[in-house]
Amino acid sequence: MRSGVVLVLLVSLTTGGVLWSPTSAAPVTGHPRLWLTANDLPRLRSWAVESNPLYRDGLGAVALEAKADMDAGLVPGEDGGGRTYELYPTEMYAELFGFMSLISNDQVARDDYAQRARTLLMGVINEAAQGAAEGQPFRDPDFSISDRSRWQGEAFALTVDWIYSYLSAADKATIRQVFLRWAEENLRAETTTYNHPEPIGVVNDPVLVSDPIRVRYAANNYYTAHARNLGLMAMALDPADDPGGALGSYLGSATGAWLYVIDYLLRHDARGGLAPEGFEYSPQAVGYVAQLLLALHTAGQDDPSLWGPQVMLAANPFWDDLVTAYFHSLSPAALAHPWLGEVYQPAWYGDGQNYWATDFIEAFGPLGWYDSITRNPARLDALRWIETYLAPGGAESLLERAGDDNAFHNAILYFLLFDPAAPPPSDPRSALPLAFLAPGIGHILARTSWGSDATWFTYSLGWNSIDHQHSDGNQLEFYRQGEWLTKERTGYGFNIGSSDYHNTLALENDPPEHNEPDDYRHQLWLRGSQWPLSPSADGQIVACSLGQGFVYALGDATGLYNSDYEGSRDITHASRSIVWLEPDHIIVYDRATSRTAGR
């Protein structure tokens, strides 16, 4: 039985314009302290044994393969030092070896792994220490803020922390020199639109969230990667190795600017657990935030009295909602994929290159390890069940995913998530309601049961202001007897993002300011689409009722069809009333008017 849903406004937990001093914190003084501490090592070493399949066929197997790659000269030899994709990214190997130097049960093996990690780490650092130089390996000014930095950027600070005792004073001085430059590049990054908090240098001040569009861009995966990398670098070195505290001072910006804005977004325009960029980028975008929050906790820097409430992962309801939203977002039944095995079809939104539910280990891994060390068994069990049964390939491919040799940090996170002594996780879905509303981006997800034979209904109406969002206001989807009867056209870019691919109205409007035939806005105008990036106003769910046996919504999308920026303002009204009468009847009533007759 479904109970009614009451919409409430979540009040932001923000603080005034106080400049928090990093010297006033009480950090963990030893190493490791990022993602794990010395207290965790005995337990983790007890897991790093051949009798643990997640280690034997997962992390342990990856480590052996990585050693072979290094011994064969593939790393660092085949790493071109570029800022985007590299087949053998040096820092990824260094991170893995650094982690193995902590958890291996043999001291000789630990020493070997640590020396490998140091060799690889300092190879990159010594190149970068020569100064920024466009196009030069490891020295390009975009190296620290482009694709490579989000895919593997955590590796540098984690490796430093994990092999700290193996680094010389000269090593640490060079690392500090490079980290200071990289930190400043992250602080002022312009990889994408609104890619850093403004004004720079201001922390814990409402001025940082005064521009709603700038706040929404805090959902971007580059933005959250910059936040993670900045915070990790600031916590990696000891005060004795950071004269004057210059590097450590960047923790004030990471927490008081970046996390301040991100936390505000997660409580407002992203509240409800669905991240704005969609299924393609959400696992990474929110994962980077979870990785930073985990590190703040293990480093003893998640004290709200020092840095503000945004540093406490447990204080933001988004993280519980993220797990609930994930359950509601997956199809009732799985399909057989030719090479992935069993996959679920999500209620996709935003850009997408492949249509299956991707692995959220980059978010659920750090979240689960946080739950393990803070003793939150209910959510930890749910996350372990998700990563066992709902990730691509299901339970049969768990060990294959745990041995991911394309992203070594995934193998680390799988290892941390699965205590071999824990009982098998149980399916938590029966305790969840059958209907779910994510009010931040305006998504309704409802089903008749949690069985594989359930009927499933989705409705979407929210805001469309940042990269990777689609013009899907007032979209409906319907899934019945194991297949979609109607859904959005999943894909990537403005073409696929057009409203006529999203089960909503296409309305003729005034031509846009940018109306050249090869401009994407010209094409969207010809197709009657809502405007991406620059609509006049957000879509609004005016009324909503999730009741026993029905779902009702009234959505006003008028502002999404107009764009003041493009001078396209002819639509005076565009709304949809929709009722789902379970299980098989959907009633839709659309209204649209324009200033110009005949449109």
For the domain that residue 484 is a member of, what is the CATH number?
2.70.98.70
Question: Roughly how many angstroms between the first and final C-alpha of the chain, as a whole number?
Answer: 45
- The answer, yes or no, to whether residue 19 has pLDDT greater than 50, is no
363 and 405: one domain?
A: yes
Sequence-separated (6 or more) residues with CB below 8 Å from residue 81: 124, 127, 136, 137, 138, 139, 143
Q: What is the mean pLDDT of residues 508-521?
A: 97
The pLDDT of residue 519 is 96
Tell me 11's DSSP state.
Answer: P
Q: Are the CB atoms for 177 and 129 separated by under 8 Å? A: yes
Do 145 and 264 belong to one domain? yes
Assess whether 419 and 447 both reside in one domain: no
Looking at the structure, tell me whether residues 467 and 491 fall in a common domain.
Answer: yes
How many CB atoms sit inside 10 A of residue 85's CB? Answer: 10
Give residues with Cβ within 8 angstroms of 321, minimum separation 6. 271, 272, 273, 438
CA dist 180 and 250 (Å) reads 9
Residues 181 and 250 in one domain: yes
Instruction: Identify the bridge partners of residue 341 per DSSP, sorted by sequence position.
Output: 337
Residue 171 has pLDDT above 70, yes or no: yes
Q: Is the pTM of this model over 0.85?
A: yes
Q: 130 and 246 share a domain?
A: yes
> What crossing angle do the helices spanning 169-187 and 154-162 adopt, rounded to 10°?
150
Amino acid found at 280: E
Q: Phi and psi for 173 in degrees, rounded to 5? A: -65, -40
d(CA 561, CA 525): 10
Please check whether residues 450 and 415 belong to one and the same domain: no
pLDDT over 70 (residue 6): no
3-state secondary structure of 344: strand
Domain of residue 573 covers: 442-594
Q: Is 564 helix (H, G, I), strand (E, B) or coil?
A: coil
pLDDT of residue 330: 99
What confidence score (pLDDT) does residue 12 get?
Answer: 31
The pLDDT value recorded for residue 26 is: 79
Q: How far is CA 122 from the centre of its chain?
A: 29
pLDDT tens digit string along 28-39? 999 999 999 999
Determine the average pLDDT of the residues in 338-343. 96
| pLDDT tens digit sequence for 371-384 | 999 999 999 999 99
**475, 411: one domain:** no
Q: Answer with the one of 429, 455, 476 that is the final residue of a domain.
A: 429
pLDDT at 2: 34
Same domain, 407 and 453: no
User: Looking at the structure, do residues 403 and 334 belong to the same domain, yes or no?
Assistant: yes
Give yes or no for residue 17 having a pLDDT over 70. no
Q: Is residue 118 part of a domain?
A: yes
Is the model's pLDDT at 7 over the cut of 80? no
Closest C-alpha among 542, 12, 544 to residue 271:
12
Which of 372, 400, 429 represents a domain boundary (last residue)? 429
Q: What is the CATH number of the domain that holds 28?
A: 1.50.10.100
